[in-house]
Amino acid sequence: MSLPATRAPRKPRLAITMGDPAGVGPEIIIKAFAAEELASFCCPVVYGDLGVLARAVRLLGHELELVEVSEQASFEPEPPGAEGAATSAIRVVPRSRLRLEEVPFGALSEAGSRAMADYVRGAALRVRDGGADAVVTCPITKEGLKLAGEPFPGHTEMLATLCGGARVVMMLAGERLKVALVTIHVALRRALELLDAPLIEETIRTTDRFFRTYLACAAPRIAVAGLNPHAGEGGLFGDEEARLIAPAIAACRSSGIDVLGPFPPDTVFHRAYHGQFDVVVAMTHDHGLIPLKLVHFDDGVNVTMGLPILRTSVDHGTAYDIAGTGKAKPTSLLAALRMAARMASLRAAEPEPRDARDPGH
């Protein structure tokens, strides 16, 4: 008796944004597509500019074909090389048609800045509307967003607004260390003003929910870093640990979340690196990202938790200083693509569960 033929699961459809046309985004995209592994785990389409990408192809000397596609036809049928061979064609949804003299390597421009924002907007809305499974972003500049008239300090805030004002948490992740942030792109003085127990509690809950839903971690072990030296040393160096952080941890623990702390910031990352915790929640941007980037400078992935869509990103900037030299590495982009594909596959295989422990879910 012959068994019925089974249909191979569809590879996740990833919408890749090109980032700042004058930065390293186009170069790392070309290098990523030249990697043999890419077509084996995803169906990728770039939201960007054909002329700028062609410039990167010429610069790097790769024999890759650029194919213009419409948003409606972008993922069907799958691109060449979909069965695991190196992808020989790059499908591009052209959201801009820039003149190359408008966007010289390493130079901020209004035209390039408007374009980079539009790549993000187009890809995010495509994922939001179900036309793709995840968005993977290449680097943009915060100064460029301002120049383009966009009222956002970065990708995270822009995506949250595009998704209806979602409350989001920024996490940077590598194999050995993952860090979620309570506050992100604000001045340090402003970050201290923003910190309160409800915000810390919400960050912990969002992190717990995301790990269980998208990272196949049934009971994530969460460590919370203190704000002050030695986690306040019993109030000698500040009272935020006792007044803000500990109550948030207690509220989360009472609903069944495996969270501990607050721990001294100068030791907790070492413990997480050696496997005692799955993720560390840090109070401010640099508290968390200095240790993360020390370990995962080349292969870290930026993940936006709390969105109704999946989004990963490289964890580096536009690198204007090396744009156009061919030196930029695609390591972080490939890691972001792999993580997006894994998360999309997990979500497709198992619908997001309702968490009875989390009253805010």
* Mean local confidence (pLDDT), 310-314: 96
| pLDDT tens-digit series, residues 256-278 | 999 999 999 999 999 999 999 99
254-271 residues labelled b (16+ CB within 10 A) or e (exposed):
ebebebebbbbbeebbee
In a domain, 1, yes or no: no
Q: Are strands 43-48 and 13-17 parallel, antiparallel or unpaired?
A: parallel
Peptide bond between residue 153 and the one before it cis (omega within 30 degrees of 0): no
The pLDDT of residue 76 is above 80: no
188 and 62, same structural domain? no
Confidence band of 360 (pLDDT split at 50, 70, 90): very low
Last residue of a domain, one of 264, 299, 334: 299
pLDDT at 350: 58
Angle at 178 between CA 301 and CA 319, to 5 degrees: 35
Which pLDDT value is given to residue 337? 97
pLDDT at 295 over 90: yes
Average pLDDT over residues 91-100: 97
pLDDT band at 78 (very low <50, low <70, confident <90, very high): low
pLDDT number for residue 208 = 97
Among 299, 318, 343, the domain-final residue is: 299
For residues 198 and 279, state if they share a domain.
Answer: yes
Q: Is residue 180 one of the residues assigned to a domain?
A: yes
Domain co-membership, 182 together with 57: no
Task: With respect to residue 4, please indicate whether it lies within any of the assigned structural domains.
Answer: no
pLDDT at residue number 28: 97
Show which of 265, 299, 333 is a domain's final residue.
299
Q: What CATH code is carried by the domain that includes residue 334?
A: 3.40.718.10
pLDDT at 361: 36
Q: Are residues 178 and 85 in the same domain?
A: no
φ, ψ dihedrals at 26, nearest 5° = -60, -40
* DSSP-based three-state secondary structure for 177: coil
Residue 79 has pLDDT above 90, yes or no: no
What is each CA distance from 146 to 109, 137, 153, 174, in whole angstroms? 11, 18, 8, 30
Q: Is 2 domain-assigned?
A: no
Same domain? 320 vs 295: no
Residue 3 in domain: no
Strands 301-305 and 169-173: antiparallel
Token reading at 101: 């003299």
Residues 28 and 76 in one domain: yes
Q: Based on the domain organization, do 225 and 286 belong to the same domain?
A: yes
176 is a domain residue: yes
Strand partners, 23: none
The answer on 140 and 78 residing in a single domain is: yes
For residue 94, pLDDT beyond 90: yes
3-26 per-position pLDDT tens digit = 344 344 689 999 999 999 999 999
51, pLDDT greater than 90: yes
The reply to whether 5 falls in a domain is no
| 236 and 158 assigned to the same domain | no
Task: Write down the pLDDT at residue 7.
Answer: 42
- Provide the whole-model pTM: 0.87
Q: Which residues pair with 48 in a beta bridge?
A: 94
Q: How confident is the model at residue 357 (pLDDT cuts 50, 70, 90)?
A: very low
Domains identified in the chain, total number = 2
Residues with Cβ within 8 Å of residue 129, at least 6 apart in sequence: none
- pLDDT band of 209, cuts 50, 70, 90: very high
My answer on whether 161 and 176 are in the same domain is no
In this predicted structure, the answer to whether residue 312 has a pLDDT above a threshold of 70 is yes
pLDDT for residue 83 is more than 50: no
Are both 160 and 135 inside the same structural domain? yes
Domain that includes residue 28, residue range = 10-166+307-361
> Residue 74 above 90 pLDDT?
no
Is residue 144 domain-shared with residue 39, that is, in the same domain? yes
pLDDT, tens digit, 9 for 90 and up, residues 125-151: 999 999 999 999 999 999 999 999 999
pLDDT tens, 318-348?
999 999 999 999 999 999 999 999 999 987 6
The answer as to whether 235 is a domain residue is: yes
Distance between CA atoms of residues 33 and 330, nearest Å: 9
